[in-house]
Amino acid sequence: MTAKDLRDKYINFFKDKNHVEIPNSPLVPENDPTTLFTSSGMQPLIPYLMGEKHPAGTRLVDSQNSFRAVDIDEVGDNRHTTFFRMLGNWSLGDYFKKEEIPWLWEFLTETLGLPKEKLFITVFDGFKKIERDEESYKIWADLLTKEGFVPEQKIFFAGVDKNWWSRSGTPDKMPVGEIGGPDTEVYIRFDDIEHTDECEGDSPVYCECGKFLEIANSVFMQYKKVTEEDFDPLPNKNVDFGGGLERLLAAVELKSDIFETSLFHPTIKTIEKETSKTYGENKKEMQIITDHLGASVFIILAGVRPSNKEQGYILRRLLRRAFDNFYTLSGKDITSIVDSVFEQYKETDEYLVSKYEEIRNVILEEERNYKGTLQRAKAFISKKYPETGDEIMGEKKTISSEDAFILYSTHGLSPTQIKSLGFDFDEQAFAKKMEEHQNLSRAGAQQKFRGGLADTSEKTVMGHTATHLLHKALRDMFGEDLHQTGSNITTERLRFDFNFDRKLEDDEIKKLEDTINEKIRENLPVHFEILPLEEAKKLGAIGLFDEKYGNDVKVYFVGDYSKEFCGGPHVDFTSKLKRFKIIKQENIGHGQRRIYAVVG
């Protein structure tokens, strides 16, 4: 069974249970300023888990490409990757535990044929006012008893650290407004791995030795954090199931190391060939190269280019880490590895094929830049430490931790790379500087998170409605060829891109503002309808047509002024926007103009 077969089996299994397949969302989210990447299947569905109506209905299934930057340092074992495909089935207030759990078991054991005796279950043990999940336990216990197992030997309870899921982790880490819920997980046991002496604890599945691999997670997404202490129930009891395609494939192939599955193995083989080293003796390096190049391919595909900022910085870090590990193994030409990574993904992600040249060039150009950086770093050190002479590889030279940190922060070299250049430095002093640096960036990230929770903070919702008004006002002024080409909304401002090849005059800006403020004063009601695509088009609804939700689409109406395809959410009456003001415009190239505006 290939990764593609597995994915198709999953999607078809849930389609047979009346789920509608929805498309993969972009890896770099458009309208979510709180996060750099889509890191789970639930992220693009947050508004719907919070109660918005989804145009495709209440039962959905998908495969979502996901990237977790927090796992970069975890890669280098048998199971962690930063990039993965998350298979997901969703109940938006439709079915719940008594359907989800038996379906999951049926899919794993009958459709995939996983050995029942190797599967183990975990269930939520309760936390403060949120009760222990006896209901899931009972469903699993009945099911496993029928299969001839003793429930106590198969099902384990665990607390919020393990069996609670939200984007930010345990309940105490969740910001007010965030959603989450208890979950039940399935693990597979690999008999070729032995527990180590450190593997203790209440349940045998949670240790770090890799003997057990989590392959499936059904989150019962039903709570919203409302104060530092309390949770309210969401309008619906939802199911958010997530299973990593790569891990499920490892379970099917009974490979305790996902890098040895049919998906990753050909790339590992290519690395072995290019470096004349064996995987067995160089696992960590080869795992990092394989994962990081794969993740980079998808991040580049999403339009990101290596830089020193945000997504671009993460991409640069991934690529340079992959290069470092490749050079450590004395690999010379990385091109064939990049080609192999494309081969690895092209069956499941066919659209990669047409972007092959472009993506490969970005990677190779970054490699050239990196080599330049290494040269400059060497020059920097030769200048500061003339006694090192031209030849700095070879004998170890000691440099100050300040200079090592400059090599890291300015030249982008990792501590390992600095050492491999032949430099020693005080590692503790370096680690201290690194911690200060990380605390600063973490503070920045938290600031970002507080900036508004995904799509649902009040200011962001106002921004969504304002973009509909702006879109319509622009088209009324400049004709129907004008259309939105992008947008990004934060609690501070909204940004709106459209095809227009000149500057807007002051009087045009004023006219736009006046029109929109007039619509705000009219206090128009905002509502949505779910309509067949053709009917929506006939009605003259505008918007980006590339979202395919089966045949039905969701159209938001602002009075009878604007009709636009949109997932929502929106304010209920335009007066909630109070006031609209354009604060800046700019030319973003290729005949595109960008407007920044504020509301409230």
**What is the binding site for ligand SER (CB under 6 A)?**
40-42, 88, 165, 217, 219, 240-242
- Do 176 and 226 touch, CB atoms closer than 8 A? yes
Query: Shortest Cβ distance from residue 260 to ligand SER (Å)?
Result: 23
CA distance 597 to 494: 5
Query: Shortest Cβ distance from residue 39 to ligand SER (Å)?
Result: 8
User: Residue 358 has which token pair?
Assistant: 């472009």
Query: Shortest Cβ distance from residue 190 to ligand SER (Å)?
Result: 21
Backbone φ and ψ for 412, nearest 5 degrees, come out as 75, 25
Residue among 162 and 464 whose Cβ is closer to ligand SER:
162
Query: Shortest Cβ distance from residue 183 to ligand SER (Å)?
Result: 7
Q: Which long-range contacts (CB under 8 A, 24 or more apart) does 192-200 make?
A: 192/256, 193/78, 193/256
Query: Shortest Cβ distance from residue 143 to ligand SER (Å)?
Result: 20
CA distance 427 to 418: 11
Residue among 40 and 457 whose Cβ is closer to ligand SER:
40
Residue among 40 and 325 whose Cβ is closer to ligand SER:
40
Query: Shortest Cβ distance from residue 130 to ligand SER (Å)?
Result: 17
Query: Shortest Cβ distance from residue 165 to ligand SER (Å)?
Result: 5
Residue among 42 and 300 whose Cβ is closer to ligand SER:
42
Residue among 168 and 262 whose Cβ is closer to ligand SER:
168
Q: Which of 285, 286, 282, 311 is nearest to 296 (CA)?
A: 311
Query: Shortest Cβ distance from residue 185 to ligand SER (Å)?
Result: 9
Residue among 45 and 293 whose Cβ is closer to ligand SER:
45
The one-letter amino acid at 10: Y
CA distance 429 to 128: 41
> Other CB atoms closer than 10 Å to residue 332's CB: what's the count?
9
Residue among 62 and 274 whose Cβ is closer to ligand SER:
62
Residue among 66 and 467 whose Cβ is closer to ligand SER:
66
Burial annotation 463-488 (CB, 10 A radius, 16+ → b, else e): bbbbbbbbbbbbbeeeeeebebbebb
Which residues have C-beta within 8 Å of that of residue 283, sequence separation ≥ 6? 76, 257, 259
- Do 596 and 573 touch, CB atoms closer than 8 A? no
CA distance 85 to 388: 48
Query: Shortest Cβ distance from residue 570 to ligand SER (Å)?
Result: 25
Residue 160: exposure state from Cβ atoms within 10 A (0-12, 13-18, ≥19): buried
Query: Shortest Cβ distance from residue 344 to ligand SER (Å)?
Result: 23
Whether omega before 569 lies within 30 degrees of 0, making that bond cis, reads yes
Annotate 435-473 with DSSP letters as a single string: HHHHHHHHHHHHHHHHT--TTTSHHHHHHHHHHHHHHHH
Query: Shortest Cβ distance from residue 92 to ligand SER (Å)?
Result: 14
Annotate 197-239 with DSSP letters as a single string: TT--SSSTT--SSSSEEEEEEEEEEEEEE-SSS-EEEEEEEEE
Which residues have C-beta within 8 Å of that of residue 20, sequence separation ≥ 6? 56, 57, 59, 60, 61, 549, 550
CA distance 321 to 72: 10
Bridge pairing between strands 423-424 and 397-398:
parallel
Residue among 185 and 291 whose Cβ is closer to ligand SER:
185
Query: Shortest Cβ distance from residue 391 to ligand SER (Å)?
Result: 50
Residue among 96 and 496 whose Cβ is closer to ligand SER:
96
Query: Shortest Cβ distance from residue 304 to ligand SER (Å)?
Result: 22
Query: Shortest Cβ distance from residue 218 to ligand SER (Å)?
Result: 7
Residue among 453 and 533 whose Cβ is closer to ligand SER:
453
Q: Which long-range contacts (CB under 8 A, 24 or more apart) does 194-197 make?
A: none
β strands within 154-204, DSSP E: 155-158, 164-166, 179-189
Among all residues, whose Cβ is closest to ligand SER?
A: 242
Give the helix/strand (H/E) hosting 140: helix 134-146
Residue among 206 and 565 whose Cβ is closer to ligand SER:
206
Backbone φ and ψ for 548, nearest 5 degrees, come out as -105, 105
Residue 573: exposure state from Cβ atoms within 10 A (0-12, 13-18, ≥19): middle
Residue among 84 and 425 whose Cβ is closer to ligand SER:
84
Residue among 87 and 404 whose Cβ is closer to ligand SER:
87
